[in-house]
Amino acid sequence: MKWLEVHIDTNHAGLEAVETMLSALGIDGVVIDDETEFEDFLENNRQCWDYVDEDLRREMRGKSRVTFYLAEGEKAAAKLGEVRIALSQLKQERPDCGTLLMTLENMEDADWENNWKQYYRPLEIGERLLVVPEWLRDTPEVREQLKSGRVPLLLDPGLTFGTGGHATTRLCLTALERTIRGGERVLDLGCGSGILSIAALKLGAAEATAVDIDDKCLHVAYENAALNGIGRDTYTVRIGDILRDEPLQAAIGGGYQVVLANIVADVIIGLAPAVRGLLAEGGVFLCSGIIDSRAGEVADQLRKNGLEILETHSDDGWFAYLCR
């Protein structure tokens, strides 16, 4: 089936008016892009990141747009006619709503589900790992790469962070493959897609517990584990805030040979006082997601809480520390 992707450009003040107009015409389920809400979201959630992609910021600059979809055909043409008439009326009634320019794009059904997949390729990390998007698992390219003895790590990235492409994840995976010797208990804090804890199991760890505050990660991490032949007998995913959720803290316990945290500087700083209680004797803490401007601050807090930094690694403006 072919679809029409319809955009209406407005401004922040006009978003509600356009959405109301479309709803009156029986068009609901719209997508709204708005620079003002985007910037407000960033400002009110600074604890979740230290870096925002400038390309994304540029894309959102000055943008207030309502998007909706119509199945191509006579009914779509008639509906577009109704929208054009309603837009003309809205322009007269609300001159403060910006251009109210309507533009169209044609889409195939497959575009919705599959176009994003073209941006993913098998990714060699460190000396041993090959991160493979699951839809490429049987391609000649992957089969050839696996002849070198690399360990395949299959992922369905979905919408959850953690594919191996970002510097912070690469830093963790590279350090992890040097750290895992076999038989370890692993704790992955802020697991996202589960890539780090699943990699640890593929490299020889005995069991892993993964934790994230986002409940979408529960399904995604278990699904990625299953792709790699890993069951719930060795892999457990929990949802909650490790810093504040006492029942979660009790369930997680301690005695881990490896604790992972690929999050952001503020969360790692908040975790620092608790890390030693999570580690087994001789265990290590591998943390990443630390932008270069915060690296010194994080290192100071780790040392202040009794952790010795054994290794420091950096890549593309990001830092990772291996501590004991």
Last residue within a domain, chosen from 115, 139, 160: 115
Last residue within a domain, chosen from 86, 115, 144: 115
pLDDT given for residue 268 in this prediction: 95
Q: Provide the domain count of the chain.
A: 2
Whether 154 and 251 map to the same domain: the answer is yes
pLDDT given for residue 161 in this prediction: 53
Here the CATH number for the domain that contains residue 312 is 3.40.50.150
Whether 177 and 219 map to the same domain: the answer is yes
CA distance 19 to 33: 12
Last residue within a domain, chosen from 92, 115, 138: 115
pLDDT given for residue 280 in this prediction: 97
Whether 159 and 283 map to the same domain: the answer is yes
Strand order across the beta sheet in which 129-133 lies: 123-125, 129-133, 151-155
Q: Which amino acid is at 131?
A: V
Whether 152 and 23 map to the same domain: the answer is no
Query: What is the DSSP-derived secondary structure letter of residue 150?
Result: P
CA distance 183 to 83: 63
Partner residues linked to 42 by β-bridges: none
Q: Go through 205-242 and write b for each residue having 16 or more CB atoms within 10 A of its CB, e for each that does not.
A: bebbbbbbbeeebbebbbbbbebbebeeeebbbbbbeb
Question: Can you read off the two tokens belonging to residue 258?
Answer: 């490896």
Q: Which amino acid is at 56?
A: L
The beta-carbon contacts of 53-62 under 8 Å, at least 24 apart in sequence, are 60/33, 60/35, 61/35, 62/35
Q: How far apart are the first and last CA of the chain?
A: 57
Instruction: Choose among 278, 275, 281, 270: nearest CA to 307.
Output: 275
Per-residue confidence in pLDDT tens, the chain, 324 aa: 688 889 999 998 899 999 999 999 999 889 888 887 666 655 655 555 555 556 656 656 767 899 999 988 888 889 999 999 999 999 999 999 999 999 988 876 655 556 556 667 888 999 999 999 888 999 999 999 999 999 999 998 654 456 677 888 899 999 999 999 999 999 999 998 899 999 999 999 999 999 999 888 999 999 999 999 999 999 999 999 998 999 999 999 999 999 999 998 999 999 999 999 999 999 999 999 999 999 999 999 999 999 999 999 999 899 999 999
Whether 202 and 263 map to the same domain: the answer is yes
Query: What is the DSSP-derived secondary structure letter of residue 97?
Result: G
Whether 97 and 168 map to the same domain: the answer is no
pLDDT given for residue 105 in this prediction: 84
Whether 240 and 162 map to the same domain: the answer is yes
Distances (CA, A) of 240 to 20, 29, 94, 199, 248: 37, 30, 46, 22, 7
pTM, to two decimals: 0.71
SS3 60: helix
Whether 110 and 152 map to the same domain: the answer is no
Here the CATH number for the domain that contains residue 41 is 3.30.70.260
Whether 20 and 142 map to the same domain: the answer is no
Whether 72 and 171 map to the same domain: the answer is no
Question: Can you read off the two tokens belonging to residue 274?
Answer: 């608790």
pLDDT given for residue 159 in this prediction: 46
| DSSP E strand boundaries for the chain | 2-9, 31-34, 64-71, 101-108, 123-125, 129-133, 151-155, 185-189, 207-212, 235-239, 256-262, 279-291, 309-315, 318-323
Tokens 């892999």 sit on residue: 235
Whether 40 and 136 map to the same domain: the answer is no
Whether 188 and 306 map to the same domain: the answer is yes
pLDDT given for residue 106 in this prediction: 81
| DSSP E strand boundaries for 199-263 | 207-212, 235-239, 256-262
The helix or strand, by DSSP H or E, that contains position 170, with its residue range, turns out to be: helix 167-179
Query: 162: domain range?
Result: 120-323
pLDDT given for residue 158 in this prediction: 58
